[in-house]
Amino acid sequence: MQMRSMAVAAATIGATTVLLIGCGGGDDDNQTLEAPPAPLTVASASAACARLATATVSAGDIGLPTSGATVSSATLQAATATLPEHCKLLGKVTATSPSDPPINFQINLPTQWNVKTLQFGGGGFNGTVVTGLGGVSNAPAATPVPLALGYATYGSDSGNQKPNGSFGDNDQALANYGGQSVKRMHDVAVALQKQYYGRAPYKSYFQGGSKGGHEALAAVQRYGADFDGAIAYYPANQNQGIVFSWYRAWAAMYRTTGAYVNLAKAAAVKASVLQACDALDGVADGIVSNTAACQTTYDVAVLRCPGGADTGDTCLSDPQIAALRVAGSATELAFPFANNVTSIGGYPVFQGGDVNGILIDTVGAAGQANLFYSQIKPVITQWDLQDTSATIDNFDYTKYQSRVLYLSNLLDANDPNLDTFKARGGKLLMVQGTTDMLISPTLTNAYYGQLDKRYGSQLAGFTRYYVVPGFGHGFGDFTSNWDALSALEDWAERGYAPSNQVTFDNAAATRGRTRPLCEYPAYPKYSGTGDVNSASSFTCAVN
């Protein structure tokens, strides 16, 4: 991991640029890179910031239809212990129709600029403005936030003000949520950076996880000419398919008599999985690293209660085993979704998946105290059925094929065509955890497989995909921390492709241990000697 310090210096606008040959491995050897401009310092920042208080961006400067953008406030923020002096802009991008919601945004313009910009993705149903003041997803705590590194940063609410998802009755809000807000915000942010600094950024990046990971993929798939790099953690890239796979698992557990698995039973399943699979990577460390071997080794039937009836918390009844097997198996779709996707999942319930609060209710067995329910209910009732009074019981998506396909094509970010992004020289970093019960590793694996099928040996020239054992949806038995932004900068700006990357565990019980960050389909395998808490004792192996 690279440790960073903020390095800024005064410079004049319009510094001369030269071309150089990047150094690195594989397809990067002959990459031509633009020499980075010197950092830029804004003179009389207070007055310059104040001038943006009434700034506007015309509709003609935004690459998708709008009525333009306006700044509602511009305030020079004094430097703090963690953030530099910067001009904070609040404003909105107005839709072409007055009945459609705006995109509310925040843009942060540091007085000392590294001539780069970073767009932050959102989460869940979005609906609240992402400030851009925080760090990159899953970065080590000691890593300075991008604004402190001199980045102009920005984020938005993605064009809706309803974080509960109840905006499905508005087509423009859905389109913005599906990825169009990424483009609109990029163009507005760059236009305002030009007004403040007198030039466009030298490099433009995107970063996010989950919904923000979806937006990162939308950026490189649809707007590849605008971005030089993107970081996508556990990307929720297939709205309709994911939601229906969640629904299938949810219904199997909560709409089948006797199928509910309580917290104690869920713990028994995880302990059983670890007993069978933990050491398949050469060491018992509380993590299932060799998930492929685990899939052929473990059978949940070992926990079957005598006679298949529910006789206590140390075993599973037949309906409970059946429900867990549904969650662990792929959802085969009745017709192809966007980009010919025909199956989704399953989820890692038998590889140590983080089920509590996601699939499993934390209180009782009503089926409403879990993330699956909170996500599927508004999507199914308001987006698919377009009926706020509807319930999700007995939902059958095949009866609404035209609406489902409309939403899939509008929302899904699973297009393997990254030609424009690749031609620009863009670099993509994707990270997935093996125990993620919200965004199944099989889902991200499948998208990477699409990319590999399209680009073959060329894919390594612009994409890296890492799968972290024991890592869930931002947490887990191995809570992965990695300075992805440094790796992206080294690759996109200096031509050094990522190699020998290391991830740090931030889980409370095991904080500080390290593992190699292995490129899919490899996993960390213990070499047989050395400190089991050190990445140097592991190699990246493939079955």
Among all residues, which ones are annotated catalytic? 210, 436, 473
- Alpha-helix residue ranges (DSSP H) falling in 329-414: 371-378, 401-411
Q: What is the C-alpha to C-alpha distance for residues 21 and 25, in angstroms, rounded to an integer? A: 13
Q: Are 469 and 273 in contact (CB under 8 A)?
A: no
Structure tokens at 158: 């993605």
Q: CA 206 to CA 424: how far, in whole Å?
A: 15
Q: Is 492 left (phi over 0), alpha (psi -120 to 50) or beta?
A: alpha
Give the span between the Cα atoms of 290 and 543, in whole angstroms.
Answer: 8
How far is residue 406's CA from residue 168's CA, in Å, rounded to a whole number? 13
C-alpha span between 337 and 245 (Å, rounded): 13
Residues 6 or more apart whose Cβ sits within 8 Å of residue 20: 32, 33, 34, 35
d(CA 25, CA 430): 19
Q: Which of 510, 506, 509, 513 is nearest to 538 (CA)?
A: 513
CA separation for the pair 120, 131 (Å, rounded):
8
Contact present, 345 and 245 (Cβ < 8 Å): yes
Q: Amino acid letter at 34?
A: E
Cα 234 to Cα 42, 375, 503, 512: the distances in Å are 37, 16, 16, 22
Amino acid letter, 383: W
> Is the four-CA dihedral 298, 299, 300, 305 of positive or negative sign?
negative
> Where in 215-256 does DSSP place strands (E)?
229-233
CA 283 to each of CA 381, 404, 429, 480: distance values in angstroms, whole numbers, following the listed order: 47, 45, 28, 19
CA dihedral 412→415→420→424, nearest 10 degrees, is 80
Angle between helices 239-254 and 371-378 (to 10 degrees): 120
What region does 282 belong to: left with phi over 0, alpha with psi -120 to 50, or beta? left
